[in-house]
């Protein structure tokens, strides 16, 4: 906290030039370029979504939601995220715990595998499940025999969403837990706590902000995922369309409705950003009190 104050103070006192500073015109140019870039690629599109959505007035906007198919898309998105996020929460914590607290053979392989959903194209991620569970797939005949539908049905969408969003929680927690080390857990064990007590009373409180951050990002991606879900969905209206898929269909039929539904995802993004900033701010505030001597 004291660093910014002292900088301001020295600048005010002597107008002292810092060695890293640039001439004013360079600074203005750099800031201008950054702002222009932001405007063209972020703010204008954001405004355009709302402008298009309200192009025919507020009434048309709200009418767009009065559609059972749209309603079904929202419901499916909530279901997919509602299953994928808790699953990845459990997997992510377990993986991060294993990686940061224990040494075992195959550890670096596990770390690489966690990143796989990030490194592979979402389309491929979807195709994996089609090749595995589709009618012509590896397990297809067995599934058909037992009347289990995965591809072009809700389970496939949940699977694809879970796959794509798998790394968020684990990726967030691994560096955090590695930095915190094992000594607090060891202290808890030496005081007689069981492994379960140690986890709930020591580990979870220490990682809660990182955990929340991971959940927020995981949820945003789960609700917004297009590619992988598109491959496994089959685009059956009112049944296997999530919000992003539904928007794509609407766009060729009713532009206002498409953008109206798109505002939902945009709002989700804005809420996510706000939450993310708040979590970062809280975590920073806590680590600051932790560092203050």
**Cβ nearer to another protein, comparing 14 with 192:** 192
**Cβ nearer to another protein, comparing 49 with 189:** 189
Sign of CA dihedral 91, 93, 94, 99: positive
Can you read off the two tokens belonging to residue 94? 């377990």
Among 230, 274, 270, smallest CA distance to 80 is for: 230
* Contacting residue, 3, 104, 192, 252, with another protein by CB under 8 A: 192
**Cβ nearer to another protein, comparing 1 with 290:** 290
Contact flag: residue 20 with another protein (CB under 8 A)? no
Contact flag: residue 98 with another protein (CB under 8 A)? no
Considering the complex, what minimum distance in angstroms separates the CB of residue 271 from another protein? 27
Contact flag: residue 201 with another protein (CB under 8 A)? yes
Contact flag: residue 191 with another protein (CB under 8 A)? yes
**Cβ nearer to another protein, comparing 186 with 280:** 186
* Contacting residue, 98, 189, 268, 283, with another protein by CB under 8 A: 189
Burial of 249 from C-beta contacts in 10 A (0-12 / 13-18 / 19+): middle
How many angstroms separate the CA atoms of 201 and 141, rounded? Answer: 48
Per-residue binder mask for another protein (CB under 8 A), 164-183, x = binder = -------------------x
How many angstroms separate the CA atoms of 199 and 202, rounded? Answer: 6
Scored b (16 or more CB within 10 A) or e, 75-112 reads ebbeebbebbbebbbeebbebbbebbeeeeeeeeeeee
Residues whose CB is less than 8 angstroms from the CB of residue 184 and which lie 6 or more positions away in sequence, other chains included: 202, 206
Per-residue binder mask for another protein (CB under 8 A), 227-266, x = binder = ----------------------------------------
Considering the complex, what minimum distance in angstroms separates the CB of residue 189 from another protein? 4
Considering the complex, what minimum distance in angstroms separates the CB of residue 75 from another protein? 38
Which of helix, strand or coil describes residue 218? helix
The one-character DSSP state at 42 is I
Q: Which stretch binds another protein (CB under 8 A): 20-28, 166-174, 226-234, 285-293?
A: 285-293
Sign of CA dihedral 89, 92, 94, 100: negative
Q: Which stretch binds another protein (CB under 8 A): 43-51, 140-148, 186-194, 271-279?
A: 186-194
How many angstroms separate the CA atoms of 63 and 209, rounded? Answer: 39
Contact flag: residue 105 with another protein (CB under 8 A)? no
Considering the complex, what minimum distance in angstroms separates the CB of residue 292 from another protein? 6
The H or E element spanning position 289 is helix 255-291
**Cβ nearer to another protein, comparing 170 with 202:** 202
Can you read off the two tokens belonging to residue 239? 């049944």
User: Which stretches of the chain bind another protein, using CB under 8 A?
Assistant: 183-184, 186-194, 197, 201-202, 205-206, 289-293
């Amino acid at each position: 906290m004291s660093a910014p104050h002292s900088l301001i103070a020295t600048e005010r006192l002597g107008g002292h030039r810092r060695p890293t500073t640039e001439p004013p015109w360079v600074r203005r140019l750099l800031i201008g370029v950054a702002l222009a870039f932001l405007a063209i690629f972020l703010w204008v599109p954001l405004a355009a979504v709302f402008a298009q959505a309200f192009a025919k007035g507020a009434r048309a906007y709200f009418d767009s939601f009065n559609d059972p198919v749209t309603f079904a898309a929202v419901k499916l998105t909530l279901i997919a995220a509602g299953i994928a996020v808790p699953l990845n929460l459990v997997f992510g914590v377990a993986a991060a715990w294993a990686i940061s607290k224990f040494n075992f053979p195959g550890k670096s392989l596990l770390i690489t595998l966690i990143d796989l959903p990030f490194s592979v194209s979402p389309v491929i991620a979807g195709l994996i499940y089609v090749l595995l569970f589709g009618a012509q797939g590896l397990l297809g005949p067995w599934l058909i025999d037992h009347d289990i539908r995965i591809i072009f049905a809700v389970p496939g969408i949940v699977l694809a969403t879970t796959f794509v969003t798998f790394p968020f929680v684990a990726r967030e927690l691994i560096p955090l837990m590695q930095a915190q080390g094992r000594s607090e857990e060891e202290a808890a064990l030496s005081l007689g706590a069981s492994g379960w007590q140690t986890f709930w009373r020591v580990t979870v409180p220490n990682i809660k902000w990182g955990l929340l951050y991971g959940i927020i990002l995981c949820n945003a991606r789960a609700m917004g995922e297009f590619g992988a879900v598109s491959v496994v969905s089959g685009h059956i209206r009112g049944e296997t369309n999530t919000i992003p898929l539904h928007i794509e269909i609407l766009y060729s039929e009713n532009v206002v409705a498409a953008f109206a539904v798109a505002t939902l995802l945009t709002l989700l993004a804005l809420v996510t950003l706000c939450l993310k900033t708040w979590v970062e701010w809280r975590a920073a505030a806590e680590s600051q009190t932790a560092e203050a001597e």
